[in-house]
Amino acid sequence: MDQTWMKGSPITQEYENGVEEFLQFTECNAQSLHGKSFCPCVKYGNGRRQSVNDIRTHLICESIILNYTKWIWHGELPDM
C-alpha cells in the first residue's frame, strides 16, 4: 500500500485519502478487540486501542508516526 501520504500535510486531500485507505486496510486485515484497534498517532504510538472514528480523528489532528512503515499492528505481514 502506498504510504507517501504519511509524510504530507494532514490538511491535504491526499493525506485524508491515505488515512481512509489505512483505516479500510486495518478493518479488513487486523484483528480488533471489541471494535478497537491500536492508534498509530503521534500521541499514542500504537500504545492504546481506539475506535475507527477516534483513530481517524487522531491521525488528522495529531498525525501518524512517520517511522511506522510496517503496519504489523494493523494487519500487514512482516514480509509484505
DSSP string, 1-41: ---GGGGS-TTSHHHHHHHHHHHHHHHHHSPPBTTBEE--B
* pLDDT, tens digit, 9 for 90 and up, residues 28-72: 999 889 999 999 999 999 999 999 999 999 999 999 999 999 999
30 and 74 Cβ atoms separated by less than 8 Å: yes
- The pLDDT of residue 24 is above 60: yes
What pLDDT score does 51 carry? Answer: 96
Q: How confident is the model at residue 80 (pLDDT cuts 50, 70, 90)?
A: low
pTM (2 d.p.): 0.90
User: With bands split at pLDDT 50, 70 and 90, how would you rate the model's confidence at 5?
Assistant: very high
b/e for 17-35, b at 16 or more Cβ within 10 A?
Answer: ebbeebbeebeeeeeeeee
